[in-house]
């Protein structure tokens, strides 16, 4: 290797070091933005799975004994249940991984008795 190249590489690295330190705050902001966006997407996917399941139930009830419509409605119900089960399983797996890696007791806020409005 050329000694000029090595010197240039070392000087460039020393000049970029402060930028790397400043990038930590930007990285945390980016992670926060991505996390908020994914939380919105996850809620939307749960909503879609629930709507698919409920629409299958409505189609099953309104089938009126027609074998073909009943079969289609049953398939929608099954796919809705599978979609919900996969979403819950992935959510649980992510919680386990976050607990294992970061040692977080409760990485996601799940509303408890105090978070739900109560009638007095």
Q: Please write the tens of the pLDDT for every residue from 77-96.
A: 999 999 999 888 887 787 77
> How sure is the predictor about 74, in pLDDT bands with cuts at 50, 70 and 90?
very high
Q: What is the pLDDT of residues 53-71, one digit of tens each?
A: 999 999 999 988 889 999 9
pLDDT for 88: 85
Q: Is the pLDDT of residue 1 over 70?
A: no
Token match 């040692």: residue? 103
Sign of CA dihedral 6, 9, 15, 19: negative
pTM: 0.58
Residues 6 or more apart from 60 whose CB is under 8 A from it? 70, 73, 74, 77
Q: What is the mean pLDDT of the chain?
A: 76
113, 104 contact by CB (below 8 A):
no
Contact assessment for residue 49 and residue 82, using Cβ atoms and an 8 Å cutoff:
no
Mean predicted confidence (pLDDT) in 1-5: 70
Domain positions in the chain are 45-106
CA–CA dist 49, 82 (Å, integer): 9
What's the pLDDT at 55? 94
107 and 87 Cβ atoms separated by less than 8 Å: no
């Amino acid at each position: 290797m050329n000694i000029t190249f090595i010197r240039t590489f070392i000087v460039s690295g020393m000049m970029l070091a402060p930028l790397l330190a400043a990038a930590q705050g930007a990285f945390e902001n980016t992670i926060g933005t991505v996390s908020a966006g994914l939380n919105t997407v996850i809620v939307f996917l749960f909503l879609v799975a629930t709507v698919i399941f409920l629409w299958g139930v409505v189609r099953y009830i309104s089938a009126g004994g027609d074998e073909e419509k009943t079969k289609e409605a049953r398939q929608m119900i099954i796919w809705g249940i599978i979609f919900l089960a996969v979403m819950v399983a992935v959510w649980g797996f992510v919680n386990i991984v976050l607990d294992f890696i970061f040692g977080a007791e409760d990485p996601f806020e799940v509303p408890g008795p105090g978070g739900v409005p109560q009638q007095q």
